[in-house]
Structure 1
Amino acid sequence: MTLSLTVHGAAQTVTGSCHEFHFRGSRVLVDCGLFQGSRSLEALNHEPFDFDASAIDAVILTHAHIDHSGLLPRLVAQGFTGPVWCTRETADLLEFMLADAGRIQENEAERRNRRRDRAGDKPFEPIYTEQDALAAWRQTQPVAIGEWFEPAAGFRSRLWNAGHILGSASVELEAGGTRVLCSGDLGPENKSFHPAPHSPAGFDHIICESTYGDREREKVSISERRALLEAEIAAARVRGGNLVIPVFALERTQELLLDIATLSASGRIGNAMVFVDSPLANRATGVFRKYASILEDTGGRDVFGHPSIHYVNDVAESMRLNSVSGAIILAASGMCEAGRIRHHLYYNLPRRDSTILFVGFQAAGSLGRVILEGATRVRISGRDVRVKAQIRRIESYSAHADQSELLAWIKNRGPIAGSLFLDHGEPAAIEALRRLAQSEGLASQVVTPAIGERYELPVGGPARRTKTGRADIREVIGRDWQNDYASLATSLKDRLNQIPNPHKRQKAIEEMRRILDSYTKTEPRSNIR
């Protein structure tokens, strides 16, 4: 019998990572992540799994980011009882990451159900609860880097440093003589805290992420990156308002704190007031403190205890930040889809003296991506918000390898006897990396799978597709109708006011109603929201 792979997520998109490996009745998942981005894409999190959760023997987790781990609680709630294999650092982080995700799901469901525009609709149910999340965390089974383990009958596996975040790993799998390597997310050169990615070479099949497969970033050292941050802090101070930084609670927050503490200690940013307004980021920072002695760039010191840094947990204290100016506010979530960052954006986006600084990847359809693409108005929790603040970006904080770094990693894992799979990227990024990998002969077959596809993975030969993907998912990947609706709704009144004749304004409204009525009478309702 041949090892098979079914792709359940992170194909033609950067979230929802989930790969199912099947061999002689045993089933192993590598990752079980949450879809993030547009509302239509997030609706996939509510759909039934394409497999029986109780039939899964084990999960091997590459790292603690929610787009790789965030559906584990739902998997457990639906009957999965096996171990979740991961590094010790990942297990420590998951206790807080998953519990926070559960609270967000519960709070988001409650918030949506309170909205006036949903009156009379069927109540919105959370994907899972905080208790489901803690139950999933209790099933973690830590294992050391490079140590063989048997996740299920017929399988053996090892984890290797991926250099992405604390505890991140690539997954080596063997079953039926076939050797597979799943990259997980790969870190770039000049990454704070962690050494460069490392794993063995010579596999039958490799599954590699492609987040920045179409981008070359300027190679910036850590000291040069700090100079860029220093310049943004100085410019924001001149404007007089706050510097608001949407952050991923895990890793990005800690990298920024490392740099801010270093700049502050050397007197380069004066008397900075830094507020980390994210209980989850604060808990994650506690895990970093636990491993400070093995982290690079810290000198073995607790760099997170600098006196300029204030950790905000209390909601009332978070609300008091509305009245401050000249502060540096770090708040999650990194793509602005949930968490306290939305509250800070609501109060700071309309301020010309404030600055919003993006330091992480923004998925298509996310609020962060909409702001970065130049929106003049956005909707936050059902309210229209004008964008008057300065919008800035620093790309050198990325925790993902860029195009040349991905190609170098793939080359160093070769020779690839069978197929190279490219996933975890938007279509343009995957296609750019595919062309380069093909032209450089990195594998005889380069596959760009779709969600729902299944492949046989033979020893020493190319993969064979045995099931096609889901055509309906293509329409929800990337920017969706709800992004366009938000853009139209926030600008509609202004656009109507630009029509000088009130009778023509009324006619325009009647025309819009007529067009909407024509579609609701003739178009079948889609299952994808």
Structure 2
Amino acid sequence: MQIEFYGATSGITGSCHILRANGETVLLDCGLIQGRREEMEKNRRPFPFSPGDISAVVLSHGHIDHSGRIPLLVKQGYQGPIYAQNATMELCDILLQDSAYLQERDAQYENKWRKRKGKPFIDPLYTVADAREALDNLVGLKYREKREILPGISIRFQDAGHILGSTSVEVWLNENGKQRKIVFSGDLGQYDTPILNDPAVIDEADHVIVESTYGNRRHRDRQNTIHEIGDIIREAAHQRGNLLIPAFSIGRSQEILYYLGENYDEWELGRWQVFLDSPMAIRASKVYWDYPHLYDEEATKLRKKIHEMPHLQNLKLTESPQESMAINRIKSGAIIISASGMCTGGRIVHHLKHNISRSGAHIMIVGYQANGTLGRALVDGKSPVRIHGDEYRVKAHIHTVGGLSAHADVDDLTRWLSSFRNSYPHVHVVHGEPESKRDFRDRLASDVGFKASVPEPGDVLEL
């Protein structure tokens, strides 16, 4: 029995770990590497295994950094099942086809440049047809449903509280009369956040693979964060500017809409035009609406009360490119929620071009911004910034709202792991920047008493 640490060991994206037992090979996630161009080029490197030899894939949740290389895996010969929570299946139908469309579009742009330079053309990493073929392999499971997926290998999904359908995965490996239990955290959510339940308690494991995105940081108090959002909206109204909110289409957009609906009167949102300008976020919001049994108690009560999520009379869902472009004619009084969350592409980039040099405009950053992204440059106070090849002076007010992250902070991570005190597993810290992983490993050893390590890519652990 083995664990091989592969993706999200040298950074945050590209989650993928390999389990071997009874002659079978199981992948935990198969995510896309995101970030700088040179980082994304790693997606074209061969897998450290033959895709046709994989026995099963177990997907923790739908975010592309966890699911985005599954179409490539299928394209290269994988034909087996891909186990996912039922809501994750529906979100993947949106996310993987969108990712494939972007791969095709990016290859077209690249090949236009290559044609001018006399260079050979490239193929997209995968196509929409590849994504649809991969989606046919998805097998849905409910939370808390234990299933033997291969001889001697069983799994169970527990709610991770990160996005709809997100899971922590319990895996039981049995070989030659011996059993080992592995728990893969997936991405864990914060405790006491709206809409979703808290991460589920798991109290026993031999080994735990845990994320550490915020392994050395604490988020701002949730109630203070809500007050801060209200203050930003009031300030933008006073200065008669637009408010831009770059937000991830899955999870963050729905949470922001929830807060806007809950505080509609207090924040005087009737004076604004509110746009959800992301086709993917619009489709994902409908999926969220179809899974009320996965809501926490507060969101369940609100849904029953208002029959919508959220109740925003002035919310406009802009799906077409023409509707999106029309927003840029508005100089004042628009709240624009748009992807991508790190400002690396998508419609938010066009809105930034039209607003970033206006002194009355406000930009509210609500999620993690990786190094090398436009979002990170804004957070770091850089000016000018380059967008689509042109430089823009940053005159807009930049606000970093730290309490809205969909990721657990260091206290949340420690709280979740403390449930394992009865078994004191070996903890393997992944999915974080190097300093974050090291700091969290040291905290677990000194404050909790766990044996903890930070694996390197390609490390193999004999169980």
Structure 1 residue 416, shift from structure 2 partner: 4.4
User: Could you tell me how far apart the structure 2 residues matched to 1:10 and 1:51 are?
Assistant: 17
Correspondence for 2:316 among 305, 310, 328 = 310
In our comparison, the structure showing a higher alpha carbon Rg is 1
| Matched residue SS, 2:364 | strand
Structure 1: runs of 5+ lacking an equivalent: 458-529
- Which residue does the alignment assign to 2:217? 215
Structure 1 residue 68, shift from structure 2 partner: 0.6
> Which aligned pairs between 1:313-332 and structure 2 lie closer than 5 A?
313-325=319-331, 326-332=333-339
Correspondence for 1:120 among 118, 121, 133 = 118
Structure 1 residue 418, shift from structure 2 partner: 4.7
> Which aligned pairs between 1:109-508 and structure 2 lie closer than 5 A?
109-115=107-113, 119-176=117-174, 177-221=179-223, 224-266=224-266, 268-292=268-292, 294-296=294-296, 297-298=298-299, 299=301, 300=303, 301-304=307-310, 306-325=312-331, 326-443=333-450, 445-457=451-463
Q: Sort the Cα spacing of 1:266 and 1:371 in 2 relative to 1 into closer, same or farther, 3 A.
A: closer
Structure 1 residue 254, shift from structure 2 partner: 0.4
User: Could you tell me how far apart the structure 2 residues matched to 1:295 and 1:89 are?
Assistant: 12
- Contact 1:104–1:338 (8 Å) recurs in 2: no
- Which residue does the alignment assign to 1:495? none
Structure 1 residue 6, shift from structure 2 partner: 1.3
Question: TM-score of the superposition, structure 1-length normalised?
Answer: 0.82
Does residue 7 of structure 2 align to residue 9 of structure 1? yes
| Matched residue SS, 1:434 | helix
Which amino acid letter does the alignment assign opposite residue 249 of structure 2? A
- Contact 1:183–1:209 (8 Å) recurs in 2: yes
Q: Sort the Cα spacing of 1:157 and 1:292 in 2 relative to 1 into closer, same or farther, 3 A.
A: closer
| Matched residue SS, 2:149 | coil
User: Could you tell me how far apart the structure 1 residues matched to 2:36 and 2:389 are?
Assistant: 15
Q: Sort the Cα spacing of 1:425 and 1:414 in 2 relative to 1 into closer, same or farther, 3 A.
A: same
Which amino acid letter does the alignment assign opposite residue 412 of structure 2? E
- Which residue does the alignment assign to 1:468? none
Which amino acid letter does the alignment assign opposite residue 28 of structure 2? V
- Contact 2:114–2:121 (8 Å) recurs in 1: no
Which amino acid letter does the alignment assign opposite residue 182 of structure 1? F
Which amino acid letter does the alignment assign opposite residue 18 of structure 1? C
Give a deviation string over 1:83-123, Cα, whole Å, max 9, x none: 11111111111111111111111112222333499733333
User: Could you tell me how far apart the structure 2 residues matched to 1:127 and 1:112 are?
Assistant: 12
User: Could you tell me how far apart the structure 1 residues matched to 2:160 and 2:260 are?
Assistant: 25
- Which residue does the alignment assign to 1:25? 23
- Contact 1:164–1:188 (8 Å) recurs in 2: yes
User: Could you tell me how far apart the structure 1 residues matched to 2:362 and 2:120 are?
Assistant: 39
Larger deviation, residues 157-166 vs 298-307: 298-307
Structure 1 residue 249, shift from structure 2 partner: 0.2
- Contact 1:376–1:387 (8 Å) recurs in 2: yes
User: Could you tell me how far apart the structure 2 residues matched to 1:148 and 1:427 are?
Assistant: 34
Give a deviation string over 1:36-79, Cα, whole Å, max 9, x none: 11111111111111111111111111111111111111111111
Larger deviation, residues 380-389 vs 445-454: 380-389
Give a deviation string over 1:237-280, Cα, whole Å, max 9, x none: 22222111111000100011111122225563332211111100
- Which residue does the alignment assign to 1:512? none
Structure 1 residue 305, shift from structure 2 partner: 5.2
Q: Sort the Cα spacing of 1:193 and 1:62 in 2 relative to 1 into closer, same or farther, 3 A.
A: same
Larger deviation, residues 427-436 vs 261-270: 261-270
Give a deviation string over 1:344-403, Cα, whole Å, max 9, x none: 122222222211110011112222112211211222233333322211111111111111
Question: TM-score of the superposition, structure 2-length normalised?
Answer: 0.93
User: Could you tell me how far apart the structure 2 residues matched to 1:450 and 1:34 are?
Assistant: 18
Structure 1 residue 337, shift from structure 2 partner: 1.6
- Contact 2:260–2:310 (8 Å) recurs in 1: no
Give a deviation string over 1:6-58, Cα, whole Å, max 9, x none: 12211131111001111122011111111111111111111111111111111
Give a deviation string over 1:119-160, Cα, whole Å, max 9, x none: 333334321111111221221111111111122232111111
